Amino acid sequence: MEWKSEPRQWQALPDGIQLTTDAGTDFWRHTHYGFVRDNGHFRFDTVHRDFELEVTIAGDYRDQYDQAGLMVRTDDEHWIKCGIEFVDDRELVSAVVTNGQSDWAVAPRTEAARGTPLRLALERKIDVVTISYGPSDHPTMLRMAPFATGATQAGIMAASPQGGGFEVTFTGFELRQRETEKS
């Protein structure tokens, strides 16, 4: 795996990675805020066919828009990120789909779930990405969106757009490639 915007502080763990985000990092394009940021932390492999990604994240989210999760990307204008984003002192399950401009969809986590690890899964099947979260035996679908076929960077991401950085741990990361199904 390789880094786009490697964080200053990170370490490999027996079953994952722990990192502290650098301040002023984000992935966003134009919509609502009018700016482009493409300097968040992203550790990825490049895949060339259908795949599934899975990871469990646990973070010490504390500042507005602190975020961590999964990302897929073909270039700086076409990508999807999903995970937990900290907004107005709440953890939200979040997905941003970017096709020239970013959109944003969220689902609230229950107060009881705050601070607990979250399992995320992302699957690309032909030209569609499906994002889900929760236990693998009973996941909740968050989003389904069109996404490019062909070479794609896929992995973990984290960012701190407004805060001074936070610590996050990624465990159980799996990237499974499979043959592309024909429709």
Asked if residue 28 belongs to a domain, the reply is: yes
pTM: 0.92
Spatial strand order of the sheet with 105-108 comes to: 2-4, 41-47, 152-159, 67-75, 78-87, 90-99, 105-108
Q: Over the stretch 122-137, which tens digit does the pLDDT of each residue have?
A: 999 989 999 999 888 8
Q: Mean pLDDT, consecutive 10-residue segments, the chain of 183 residues?
A: 94 96 92 80 94 96 96 93 94 93 89 86 94 89 90 95 95 87 55
Asked if residue 73 belongs to a domain, the reply is: yes
Mean model confidence pLDDT for the chain? 91
Number of domains in the chain: 1
Spatial strand order of the sheet with 128-133 comes to: 9-13, 16-20, 167-177, 51-59, 118-125, 128-133, 140-146
**What is the domain-level CATH number for residue 167?**
2.60.120.200
Query: Range of 103's domain?
Result: 2-177
